[in-house]
Amino acid sequence: MADLIVPPARTSELVVGRMHELIRSGQWPVGERIPPEPQLVEQFGVGRNTIREAVRALEHSGMLVPRRGDGTYVRSVNGLAAAIGRCVSDEAHRELLVARRAIEVEAAAAAAIQVTGRQIEDLRALLDRAERALASGDTQSYADADIAFHTAVVAASGNGLLAELYGGIVEVMVRTHRAVVDPSVAEGTLPRGHHELVDALAAGDADAARAAVRSYLDDARRGLGA
């Protein structure tokens, strides 16, 4: 078979890639305005038309959003998250729980096989942080710790695709967290299943890990009256 000739990337595609890196790395944070066009021209060393084409491409993907008279802002860290955000409204809590279940159950089972001792320690530390936040009534700190915990469990699976998919729904989780929680949180108690999950991971018990994830997501679903 003849070797295929891959055409070189267009300049605008290279700029899109660099802008994407700036967003994902946090150098252009979500919610912040990106530099104005003249500054981008100087920063990337390309023409205005190239910058405009790159910005339009990222606007189309949902990562950037223009605000008339106020510039262009970072909307999402990746195109997948933006797409999920468009599909799942702030009120579609049940859909979010179903998506989480599809990813978290098998991610937890995989994590039980290869989680490291350091990752177990980190997970326990996040649960401690969440419990302290609940005890003090700091719901925002609890939400931050809880989301970090679930994200860390998926990362511990060692499956990069699952982690990428889960990252796509994290932004929706951030927006909806206060509504999609176990009723026990209102009483200042960490929902059941979380400590059980870490214990299962530490024991290398994939079935128990799956059961723990199902328990806290089922409780959250019941809290919505589903």
CATH code where residue 152 lies: 1.20.120.530
Residue 106 placed within a domain: yes
Cβ contacts of 99 within 8 Å, gap of 6 or more = 84, 88, 169
pLDDT grade for 2, boundaries at 50, 70 and 90:
low
Cβ contacts of 41 within 8 Å, gap of 6 or more = 47, 48, 51
Cβ contacts of 42 within 8 Å, gap of 6 or more = none
The first and second tokens of residue 190, run together, are 């960490």
Co-location of 96 and 73 in the same domain: no
| 25-41 tens-digit pLDDT | 889 987 899 999 999 99
**Residue 61, CB-side half-sphere exposure with 13 Å CA sphere:** 19
Co-location of 100 and 158 in the same domain: yes
Q: What value does the mean pLDDT of the chain take?
A: 84
Q: Identify the residue with better confidence: 212 or 190.
A: 212
- 74 bridge partner residues: 64
CATH code where residue 73 lies: 1.10.10.10
212 backbone φψ class: left, alpha, beta (φ>0; ψ -120 to 50): alpha
Q: Is the pLDDT of residue 12 over 60?
A: yes
Q: Is the pLDDT of residue 8 over 70?
A: no
What per-residue confidence (pLDDT) applies to 223?
66
The first and second tokens of residue 222, run together, are 């019941």
0.75 cut: is pTM over it? no
Co-location of 105 and 39 in the same domain: no
For 115, the domain range is 90-223
What per-residue confidence (pLDDT) applies to 25?
83
Q: Identify the residue with better confidence: 78 or 146.
A: 146
pLDDT grade for 82, boundaries at 50, 70 and 90:
low
pLDDT grade for 1, boundaries at 50, 70 and 90:
very low
